Amino acid sequence: MGATNPEIQAARQDFYERIATGSCTPLWEVLGVIVPESPPALCKPYLWKWKTVWPWIQQAGELITAKQAERRVLVLENPGLPGKSRITQSLYAGLQLILPGEVAPTHRHSQSALRFVMHGSGAYTAVDGQKVKMNVGDFVITPQFMWHDHGNTSNEPMVWLDGLDLPIVEMFNAQYFEKYEADTQKVNRSERLNLAMFGNAMKPVEYTRKSKTSPLFWYPYERTLEALHVLRHAQDAHPSWGYKLQYVNPVTGGWPMPSIGTFMQLLPAGFKGKAYQATDSTVFSVVEGSGKCTVGGVTLEFNAKDVFVCPSWMPYSFEALTECVLFSYSDRPAQQALDLWREADSQI
C-alpha cells in the first residue's frame, strides 16, 4: 500500500477492525502475499548425508521397536519448514528402519506412499494380500487405503526412504488411518505374481481398473538399471538430466501414483548439466555414485545413499564426478492434474 495521511490510515484500521468482527478481511492488504510474482522460497535446498543419519537410525533401533513405533522412521524435515514434518511444502520423506525379525504392523491410510530401498536386502512389504521381497534400488508402492505391513526375515537391517503425499492430503482435510486386526495380513498370492501380471507390458485379459494407482506395485531396480544402460548406448544424454526414465502405470501409461511422480536417471561420469527449472519440488535419493547438485545458488555434494531436495522453481544443475544413478519423486502429477505445473520456457 502506498503512503497515506494519518487520518486515512486510522479510518482504514477502524474499518478493518469492524469487519473482522464478522470474519472478513481486506484482500488488498494481503494480495501480494497470497498471489506473489513467483513461488516464495519457503522450502530450502538441503542434503542429508548418509554418514550422518545412519548412526542416528541405528540408535533409534536401540530405543524403540518397530511395533512400538508403528513405523520406526526418522522424518527428513526441511530446515525452511521446521515443525511441519515435511521435506517440501507438498511432500513428506522419512527413513524407515526394520531390524532382523521385526514386523511393522499392518495398517492403512488415505495417504499414498512409496518405498525406495536404500540399505540392505531381504525385507518384505505385503500389500493387499501379496508379499514382495525388496532390494536396494527397488521402488515399491503402497496405494492409499490399502492394507500393508513390512517385515524383515533377513539377517541385516533394512532402511528405505518413505515418500508420502501427507501435506496434500492434510490440505484437503482427508486424513484417515486404520489399524488391522493383526500385526500381519494373510498372504494369498505368490511373490512374483504382481510382476508377472503387470510387469511385462501386458495385463490379464479379465483385469478391470479399480484405482488411479498402478496395479504394479513393485518395480525392481535390476530392470530399471538395465533400461537406463540400454538408453545410454542408444542416444545422447539430455543436456540437463542425462538419461532419465519416468516410472509408469503399465495399464494407463500415466503416473504410477495420482499425486506423486517417480523417476530414475543416470548421469555419466564427467557429466555437467545445464540448469533446469520447474514448479514441482523434487526429492532425490542417490543409489550409486558421487557428484554435485547446484540448486538456488547452493552446491550440494552427494554420495551414495544421500538424500537431497530441490525446491519448486529453483534452478538446479548436476555435475557427476563418477557415474551416478539417482531416484527421485515430486508432486508433478498433482500439479498437472490441476493445470499448475510449468517448466522454464528454455534452458537457463
Task: Confirm if 129 and 188 have CB atoms less than 8 A apart.
Answer: yes
pLDDT confidence tier of residue 37, bands split at 50, 70 and 90 = confident
pTM equals 0.93
As a whole number of angstroms, the distance between CA 188 and CA 179 comes to 20
Residue type, 334: A
pLDDT confidence tier of residue 191, bands split at 50, 70 and 90 = confident
pLDDT at position 205: 94
- Quickly tell me which residue has 508403528 as its cell: 70
Q: Is 130 left (phi over 0), alpha (psi -120 to 50) or beta?
A: beta
**Does CATH number 2.60.120.10 belong to domain 46-337?**
yes
pLDDT confidence tier of residue 3, bands split at 50, 70 and 90 = low
What residue spans define the domains of the chain?
1-35, 46-337
Task: Confirm if 109 and 144 have CB atoms less than 8 A apart.
Answer: yes
pLDDT in tens, 78-100: 999 999 999 999 999 999 999 99
